[in-house]
Structures are given as structure tokens and as C-alpha cells.
Structure 1
Amino acid sequence: MPYNDFFVLSIDEKTQIQALDRTQPNLQLRPGQIERQTHDYKRHGTTSLYAALNVLTGQVIGRVTKRHRAKEFIEFLRQIERNTPKDQDLHIILDNSSTHKTPEMKTWLKEHPRFQLHFTPTSASWLNTVESWFGQLERRALYRGVFSSVGDLEKALRNYIKVHNKELAKPFCWTKTAESIMTSVAKAKNSAINVKLSN
């Protein structure tokens, strides 16, 4: 888990995850027939998930919360503090959410100097590797899930984190170079400028 004297954790939150229950049970696979489910569903409420992805190991520290405020974010940082070696600095990569920059957060960070925050640029949260993990969570645990209550959904989220850490965790490796990413960003920027000029 450690890089010598520090950890790098990629943090974000997935808010308003809906506990959805299909109005009819899924129709299972059979020869010549794909699995089917109804298009309509019942809503049973929502929950939010904070996740910290250890960039070196791919393991995740997660916290399920009812609300999404600075108070919950600070509680999540306290959980991270309890679950990491005390003698190592924590470099946290996160987006520019307002909950990350409140006066309470600034005060807490002054009292906990081992936490060093690194913000992704505005509109570039995709650079945060935990976003890739949220995509896996969506595909593997939520997309086809049926949850008859918020409690069922929260149990499924915690179970997924547990299974991920035990069976699936691995380091995230970028396959593109920084140069190719910056070239793509420049092309997108130039395209946007050309569209504005043509209007």
C-alpha cells in the first residue's frame, strides 16, 4: 500500500444512487432468449457513496452516507485516517466540489497536516482514477441490480467493496501517454473554438 513515506488516494463521491426495484421479476436467460427486464420500476430512496481508491493497490475505502455535505466528507477523511498508517502522509486527488473547500474543511485540514489535497482541473474529473472504479461499480453491481429498499442498496455497495478488495483490486495503469492526452485536449479545444467562430 505505501509509496515509502506516503499514500496516494483518488477520492470522489457518487451521490443520489437510487434503490430501484423492477415492477416485475427479471425473466432469466434460456436457449434462444436473452435475459429481459421491465422498463418501469419503483423508487425506494437514495444513498450516497464516498470512495478512496489506493492508486498503488487498487483497493478501496468506502463510506455509505444518507447525505452529501462537508460534514460527511470530513467523517470519510476520519475513516481514511483510521485505516492508514499514522506515519505516512496522504496525498488526496479529488475534484473541485464545494464540499471539499468549506471553512470547516480548511480548519480540519490545518489540524491534520498529513492530508495534502490535489484538485483536478475544472471539467477534468475524468483524470481522477476513482472514476474508473465507479464505472465498474455501476456495470457490475448497480445496472442490473434490484433493490427493494435503501438498506438493500447499501448492503450491496458494501458487499461490492469487500469483494472488490479481496478478489478484483489491482493497480490502475494509464495506457495513453501524457502527450497523447494533451494532444486530444488541444484538438477538442480547437474544435470548440472553430464551432464558435463559424456561428
Structure 2
Amino acid sequence: MCDNYGPHGKAEVVDWCTDHGIELVYTPTNASWLNWIESEFTAVRYFALNGSDYPSHSAQQAAIAGYIRWRNQRCHPKRHFAIGSKIRQPDYLPNVA
């Protein structure tokens, strides 16, 4: 899943995805909450940054890196997203001005 950032639709990206069996699923405009990476950023903020008062950038960086190492040891691939969902093949027109 990716946002509607222009480079995601470039021919070389589309060709590479096709060659590697990857389907790009775009989030609707202004729906960043649907993008999984946003939830990962929220977790970093919650576990490593909220309520913090690090004495230096190095200490803050160490806290973020520590969280990322902890998270990576416990992560699992996200699979079978939105099977049969309209987000893959919508039958409605997007809202455009």
C-alpha cells in the first residue's frame, strides 16, 4: 500500500512491480491513517518520544534505535491485506473538484 506520491506511478516502478508480482494499492487522498507506515511512525513517537526530555540528540537517537531493534525482533509480514475490498478495485468515482 502506498500513498499517491507521484514517483509511485512512474513507468519503471510499475514495470518493476509487475515483474516481481507486486500489486500497488493506493490509499485514498487524505487518508494517511490507512497507510501502515503511519502506524509505525505513531508507535515510534509513542514508545520513544512522547513525554521524553533527552539530554542530547544522541540519547534520543539511541532511544529510537532501541525501539526499532525491539520492534524488528517481533515483527511479522503483513499479508492478505484487503482481500476482496473495494480499495483494490473500486466501483465508484473518486471525489475530485
Decide whether aligned partners of structure 1 residues 102 and 158 sit closer, same or farther in structure 2, where only a CA change above 3 A counts: farther
Root-mean-square deviation over aligned CA pairs: 2.9
Decide whether aligned partners of structure 1 residues 110 and 132 sit closer, same or farther in structure 2, where only a CA change above 3 A counts: closer
Work out which structure has the larger RCO, using CA pairs closer than 8 Å and 6 or more positions apart in sequence: 1
User: Counterpart in 2 of 1:119?
Assistant: 26
Among 89, 97, 108, the alignment partner of 2:5 is: 97
TM-score normalised over the length of structure 2: 0.54
Larger Rg belongs to: 1
Identity %: 34
Decide whether aligned partners of structure 1 residues 160 and 99 sit closer, same or farther in structure 2, where only a CA change above 3 A counts: farther
| Secondary structure at 2:57 match in 1 | coil
Q: Which has the higher strand share?
A: 1
- The count of residues paired between Structure 1 and Structure 2 equals 73
After TM superposition, the runs of 4+ consecutive aligned structure 1 residues lying more than 6 A away are none
Distance across 2 between alignment mates of 1:142 and 1:134: 11
User: Counterpart in 2 of 1:182?
Assistant: none
Q: Flag structure 2 segments of 5+ consecutive residues without an equivalent.
A: 77-97
User: Counterpart in 2 of 1:133?
Assistant: 40
Give a deviation string over 1:92-137, Cα, whole Å, max 9, x none: x221112322233123113212x11111111112122432221120
Q: Flag structure 1 segments of 5+ consecutive residues without an equivalent.
A: 1-92, 171-199
